[in-house]
Copies of this chain bind each other. A is one copy, B any other.
Amino acid sequence: MDTPPRQNQGISAYTWLKKDIIRGVFPPGEKLLMSHLKERYDLGVGPLREALSQLVAERMVVAISQRGYRVATMSLAELNDLYDARSQLEGLLLRLAIERGDDDWEAEILAHAHTLSKVVEVNGPDEVLDIWDARHKAFHQAIVSGCGSVHLLRVRESLFDQAERYRHLWLRETVFSEAALATKREEHAALVEVILNRDSPRACAMMREHLMTPVPIIAGVLERRGLL
């Protein structure tokens, strides 16, 4: 039997750090002390610096030469620009998917729409959040993957990652509100319908709106919690 192909510590450091930044363990703007990180993850500075360098490239962390690293700040301006960018890009990918998608693509969308609509409470609300989020992501992923472009999908993912901290704020507001959840269900059903009808202009417009609805909600949370 082969031992699990031991991956280097830089990768684990990257994974943990990214998760903790998204979850808000390290709030926006916070200084990331080497001493603290070393202790928290029980790793040396080498691997940590590697991980931080990657996160700098992903704009999750900012490096200031000779002054270490900080968690990237959040702002209303960034929220707006990021969601605008995301929704415009999603519109483009959807248009391409409608042009290029085949029967399998359609089938996948229907399948994911179904599982998403069937999320029910199992072991407390926190589990619902995770499951709904995972299926929601998978649903949208299924839609855009019809565009067939690895690079466009990657670029989408990078914007998605950058938005993750904002999205996380919205998620709690939405999943725990039956009304909000119902609205989303309707929006998703409507989306599936126009997409399968291959009505590109209408579908793209709906998609862009669908992606922009969280913005005012997130803006509210940000201000209330003073995360700016």
Judged by a CB distance under 8 angstroms, whether A73 is at the interface is no
CB-CB < 8 A to A89: which residues of B? 89, 92, 152, 155
Judged by a CB distance under 8 angstroms, whether A5 is at the interface is yes
- What copy number does this chain have within its complex? 2
Chain A residues bordering chain B, tally (CB within 8 A): 37
Minimal Cβ-Cβ distance residue in B for A154: B59
Q: Which of A28-36, A49-57, A174-182, A188-196 contacts B (4 or more CB under 8 A)?
A: A49-57
Contact across chains for B49 and A51 when beta carbons are under 8 A apart = no
Say what secondary structure dominates the interface of chain A: helix
Which residues of A are in contact with B by a Cβ distance under 8 Å? 5-8, 10-11, 46, 49-51, 53-54, 56-59, 65-66, 81-82, 84-86, 88-89, 91-92, 96, 149-152, 154-155, 158-159, 162
**Beyond known contacts A53-B53, A54-B56, A92-B92: 14 more, CB 8 A cutoff:** A6-B66, A7-B65, A10-B53, A49-B49, A57-B57, A59-B154, A81-B151, A88-B92, A88-B96, A89-B92, A91-B92, A151-B159, A151-B162, A155-B155
